[in-house]
Structure 1
Amino acid sequence: MQALRTAAPLLQLSVQFASGTHRSALPRHKLQRWVRAALRCGPANARLRKAKPAPIEPARITLRFVDAAEGRELNRTYRGKDYATNVLTFDYQPWPPAADIVLCDAVIAREATEQGKDLAAHYAHMVVHGVLHAMGWGHELEADAERMEATERALLLTLGIADPYA
């Protein structure tokens, strides 16, 4: 499946390193590239996706990199799950997206090691995944999961990153 394309909005990106464990591996230009690539996929809602031209209002995305303690606390508070997870998305509007995306460095590093993936490639996948969630993409239903995963595969391929689900 080919990644969807839409007129991407301007980007207002904030990057916060509450945990600086991988800060040197995550330069701003890479983070911007990954976020912009996901934005070009557009919102999950077809009506919003067909809107042309690109919205005048910028996408407002905050990427916050946290340690396991903060990741666990946020997951417990907002999802009722008492463990740190790789990425949490707090979405406020789907298009142009406004969201806080929290990435837990300890979980992402552990997953990359366990799955034999390059750390930066796994971060790219998690950033893309979080931005897609911010635009209404989901994976609760099997059909939605298949659509989201196919979109992630195609999008990551354009970034030179192998299929994260292989």
Structure 2
Amino acid sequence: MTPTIRPDDPARATVEIATEDAAWDALDLEALAGRAVDATLVALDLPPAAFEVSILACDDARIATLNGEFRGKPTPTNVLSWPAEDRAPDTPGGAPHLPDPGDPMAAELGDLALAHGTCAREAAEAGKPLADHVTHLIVHGTLHLLGFDHETDADAARMEGLEVKILQTLNMANPYETPMV
């Protein structure tokens, strides 16, 4: 059973949010991000209070610039991640090198950026609440910060399986299944 972590619980991860796009103000991003990061860490048997994540809540223009600078793709995307450390697995589909919660140097997991326009458009196209889609993207991004990736089929299967498991703990549907109409 996944432990319940309340918004005021000192067991929560530290999630710092810098909001550049006022469109994010309609969403309680702080609470949503805290739940998503905490659930991700708990699912991996990591104590949330030992870790920190920073999130930039921006618009499509800003994320397109960042995507161009860091990935050579000057187009908007939903989420970008910058891990503080390379935790990639040694083999495709393998387990990443998770941080040691007792190591203060490992506390900062890294940074995420979310683009409101892209997130809102994707949520609308999928018929999902924006909060659910953003929660999924924060879980996805946090897994990237922890060394998970989806570059190979084996890596994608591992990462997507974890995402589904984590989202289930938050009472959210599998984002990879097409809903029946």
| Same fold at TM > 0.5 | yes
1:135 is matched with: 146
**Residues 52-82 of structure 1: CA distance to partner in whole angstroms, max 9, x if unpaired?**
x859x83120011110110000000000002
- Which structure ranks higher in relative contact order (CA pairs < 8 Å, sequence separation ≥ 6)? 1
Q: Number of residues paired by the alignment?
A: 149
Percent identity among equivalent residues? 34
1:114 paired to 2:125: yes
2:77 aligned with 1:75: no
**Structure number with higher strand proportion:** 1
- Residue aligned with 1:153, SS: helix
| Aligned-partner Cα distance in 1 for 2:147–2:20 | 26
Structure 1: which amino acid aligns with 2:70? Y
* Stretches (4+) displaced over 4 A: none
Query: Of residues 64, 76, 82 in structure 2, which corresponds to 1:90?
Result: 82
> Kindly tell me: are residues 54 and 66 of structure 1, through their superposed partners in 2, closer, same or farther at Cα, counting changes over 3 Å?
closer
What residue ranges of structure 2 are gaps of 5+ in the alignment? 3-10, 88-98, 100-105
TM-score (norm 2): 0.75
Q: Secondary structure of 1:21's match?
A: helix
Taking the aligned partners of 1:161 and 1:54, their CA distance within structure 2 comes to 22
1:89 aligns to what SS in structure 2?
Answer: strand
- 8 Å Cα contact 2:66/2:74 also seen in 1: no
SS in structure 2 at match of 1:125: helix
TM-score (norm 1): 0.82
Match of 1:149 in 2: 160
Q: What is the CA deviation profile of residues 107-144 of structure 1, one whole-angstrom value per residue up to 9, with x for unaligned ones? A: 10010011111110000000000000000010000011
Q: CA RMSD in A?
A: 2.1
Structure 2 residue matching 1:15: 3-state secondary structure = strand
Query: Any gaps of 5 or more consecutive residues in structure 1?
Result: 4-8, 43-48
1:105 counterpart letter in structure 2: H
Q: Tell me the equivalent position of 2:23.
A: 21
Q: CA contact under 8 A between 2:79 and 2:114: conserved in structure 1?
A: yes
